[in-house]
Amino acid sequence: FNIPASRIRHHGGQAYSYNQHHFMQYYQSGIEALSKYYSQHNPKTIFEKHFIFNNSGKQMHLPWMFSSSSSKVIGEHGLSEEHGHSAYGPVSGDKLKLEVKRLDYCLHSIKNNGYLIKRGFPKQYNGFPRGYFLVSNSGDWVFRVVGAKHRVAALVSLRWENIPVCCEPSFPRCIFESEISNWPGVVSGEYSKDDAKLIFDSYFRDPNLKIWH
């Protein structure tokens, strides 16, 4: 699919806008902005991960996903999970440097070569950014990225208006608000419908709304 950049969302409901996304802030203002984000945004619950700070819930995973598929933190690029997560802080100095390195590489590669699906040397298959759709009762929708988030940020920074994406095969293709009663977290009783909807609605915020300082 080719998805308008304005409809793409990151972990935590963040739009790929300069007001909401820390990767975009890096491209605009440098490593100090990225470091500031990681030092200030240290969420303890799924609500805080989605910039919802007036809820006392202690849940850790998304209400529409089984906990085993969404709550496990995995290290990447040679760094263990103790170094932190790219979506929120705290992170180690090595993790911060890794995020900067990946963002710089994506930006320069796409700027110089375009978006390469396949590379002959070194042999590499990049594929497309992966994710799934969230569809509201009003018919509004967004695309939640779960893979290639750095590439998406680079594409948006380079002013691509439409981003090529594909569905993540290990996730549902669509999460419908109309099926909230059947979401795993609601069925199990871990979430009320109202609390589950709070998480869902965070993906439909105004992309220009500033959600962290």
For residue range 4-13, list pLDDT tens digits in order.
Answer: 999 999 999 9
d(CA 65, CA 61): 7
Report the b/e string of 128-167 with b at 16+ CB within 10 A.
bbbbbbbbbeeeebbbbbbbbbbbbbbbbbeeeeebbbeb
Kindly tell me if the per-residue pLDDT of 76 is higher than 90.
no
Can you give the pLDDT at residue 127?
82
Tokens describing residue 203: 């993906």
Kindly tell me if the per-residue pLDDT of 106 is higher than 70.
yes
Compute the C-alpha angle 188/178/193, nearest 5°.
40
> pTM, whole model, 2 decimals?
0.90
Can you give the pLDDT at residue 121?
47
Pairing type for strands 141-147 and 8-9 reads parallel
Question: What confidence category does residue 71 fall into, taking pLDDT thresholds of 50, 70 and 90?
Answer: very low
Looking at this protein, which amino acid is placed at residue 5? A
Kindly tell me if the per-residue pLDDT of 74 is higher than 80.
no
